[in-house]
Amino acid sequence: MDQINFWIGVIATVAVAVTGVLAIADRGVDLFGVLVLGVITAIGGGTVRDIILGVPVFWSASQMYLWIALGACVVAFFAESFFTQPQTYRWMLYIDGLGAALFGIQGVDKAWNLDFGLPVAPVILGVVTAIGGGLLRDVLAGRKTLLMSHELYAIPVTLGCGLYILVLNFLPQYTLEGSVICMLTIFGLRVAAIYWELRVPKLFITKTR
């Protein structure tokens, strides 16, 4: 399982970094900006989570994710035209959804194991892990953030993380199975949102005056 998690983590980091770069590429960013913003997209959420948890940031112990993210950004920069092909881009979005699922559940796990603000704070930290990097990127790049976009991205993550808290609390003997199911829930909802281009229904959006 750790082995699987490791490889999902690697593949997800690549996808998150690549989609992170592609999201800003149309604004004319230089290679240095691409590296910084792509890496922030990939590791920013986990960094904010660790700062709030008051534990050493995860990339102080091992720089592997940093290097993977850096490498993915360089590749995304030079192979931009490959990744922006509709078919490839859609695949990257799916894998990015897998990343959000993995990062979210990992974030919940970390907070839960530290007994941090049970039961609700772990959900918040799971969501922070999954979407924090993208928020930081958008703010630094001057883009509209996810929170204003009506995309179904943070909502699946929140549902999955909330579900996982229920598992941890009421079915602690099924933690492993529960984490897989919750990840698949997030991933499945995200795939559906990408495939059918689902958005938040108008009923749940404040009226623009």
Q: Are 190 and 97 in contact (CB under 8 A)?
A: yes
CB-neighbour burial class of residue 4 (10 A; exposed 0-12, middle 13-18, buried 19+): exposed
Q: Which of 17, 23, 37, 168 binds a copy of itself (CB under 8 A)?
A: 37
Binder among 4, 87, 144, 170 for a copy of itself (CB under 8 A): 144
DSSP-derived letter for residue 192 is H
Residue keyed to tokens 């592997």: 64
Q: Which stretch binds a copy of itself (CB under 8 A): 4-12, 138-146, 168-176, 190-198?
A: 138-146
Give the tokens for residue 200. Answer: 């938040």
In the structure encoding, which two tokens stand for residue 118, read together? Answer: 């049970």
Binding mask 76-115 for a copy of itself (x = CB under 8 A): -x--x-----------------------------------
Cα separation, 136 vs 37, in Å, equals: 8
C-alpha closest to that of 199 among 189, 187, 207: 189
Instruction: Single out the segment in contact with a copy of itself by CB under 8 A; choices: 96-104, 146-154, 160-168, 173-181.
Output: 146-154
List residues near a copy of itself by CB under 8 A: 24-34, 36-37, 47, 51-52, 54, 56-57, 59-61, 63, 66-67, 77, 80, 116-117, 120-121, 124, 135, 139-142, 144-145, 147-148, 150, 154-155, 158, 200, 204-209
